[in-house]
């Protein structure tokens, strides 16, 4: 494991006692570690606290090793996984991803898991995303493919946030909420 990953996981573990159980964790690699989640969430009416436990450069294998420190100890009711972007050269990446999802299901049986597809458009990403779909049952494990293009980086972040924030809800969506989410 890279020293940076272990250091980051240790710092996250130290603040876990400040987290509210039963909320939302985003667990990812480089893209999600740089995603402006807190800036965007401040503009919406979220029913839940959101904790970003993403680490730049995190591989799926490393994610398994730090899963307890970054996710399980918080006892979330929803876990977003955005991993795989750092694993293109790893022939075991998807089997390790399956192990990660299985570990989450075992350790957090009530949690809903939302798998976020890879966005780089490579043949690896397309294959990995297709394989991710095989893990979904649309009850406890769901899949979302984020939009890949926008007129600006800020517009892209907003569109992607809109996609994932629809999973933040605890209560059923209202018609007004539906129109707001679709931008109508």
pLDDT tens track for 45-60: 677 899 999 999 999 9
How far apart (Å, rounded) are the C-alpha atoms in residues 58 and 67?
A: 11
With 60 as the cut, is the pLDDT of residue 125 above it?
A: yes
pLDDT, tens only, 161-174: 888 877 776 655 56
Give the global pTM: 0.86
Instruction: Show Cβ contacts of residue 149 under 8 Å, excluding neighbours closer than 6 positions.
Output: 156
Tell me which of 91 and 151 has the higher pLDDT.
91
Q: In sequence order, what are the residues at sequence separation of 6 or more whose Cβ sits closer than 8 angstroms to the Cβ of residue 146? A: 116, 117, 119, 160, 163, 164
Is a pLDDT exceeding 60 seen at residue 27? yes
C-alpha 78/C-alpha 97 separation (Å) is: 17
Please count the structural domains in the chain. Answer: 1
Report which of 56, 54, 57 is spatially closest to residue 67, judged by C-alpha positions: 54
> Can you give the residue range of the structural domain that contains 85?
3-182
**What pLDDT, in 10s, does the model give residues 88-113?**
999 999 999 999 999 999 999 999 99
The CA distance from 184 to 179, in Å, is 5
Q: Provide CB contacts within 8 A for 17, sequence distance 6+.
A: none
Residue with the larger pLDDT of the pair 49 and 61: 61
Instruction: Please tell me the predicted confidence (pLDDT) of residue 45.
Output: 67
Q: Which of 141, 139, 56, 138 is nearest to 97 (CA)?
A: 141
User: How many Å is the Cα radius of gyration of the chain?
Assistant: 16
Contact by Cβ (8 Å): 124, 161: no
How far are the Cα atoms of 22, 41, 75, 121, 132 from residue 148, in angstroms, in the given order? 30, 20, 31, 9, 18
- For position 127, which CATH number holds? 3.40.50.1110
Check pLDDT > 70 for residue 41: yes
């Amino acid at each position: 494991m890279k020293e940076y990953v272990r250091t980051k996981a240790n710092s996250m573990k130290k603040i876990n006692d400040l987290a509210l159980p039963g909320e939302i964790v985003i667990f990812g690699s480089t893209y999600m570690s740089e995603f402006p989640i807190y800036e965007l969430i401040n503009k919406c009416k979220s029913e839940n606290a959101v904790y970003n436990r993403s680490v730049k450069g995190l591989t799926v294998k490393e994610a398994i090793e730090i899963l307890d420190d970054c996710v399980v100890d918080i006892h979330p009711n929803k876990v977003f996984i955005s991993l795989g972007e750092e694993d293109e050269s790893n022939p075991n990446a998807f089997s390790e991803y399956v192990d990660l999802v299985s570990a989450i299901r075992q350790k957090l049986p009530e949690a809903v898991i939302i798998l976020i597809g890879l966005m780089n458009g490579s043949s690896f990403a397309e294959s990995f995303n297709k394989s991710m779909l095989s893990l979904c049952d649309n009850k406890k494990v769901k899949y979302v493919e984020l939009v890949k293009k926008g007129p600006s980086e800020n517009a892209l972040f907003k569109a992607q946030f809109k996609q994932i924030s629809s999973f933040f809800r605890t209560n059923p969506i209202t018609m007004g909420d539906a129109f707001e989410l679709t931008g109508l």
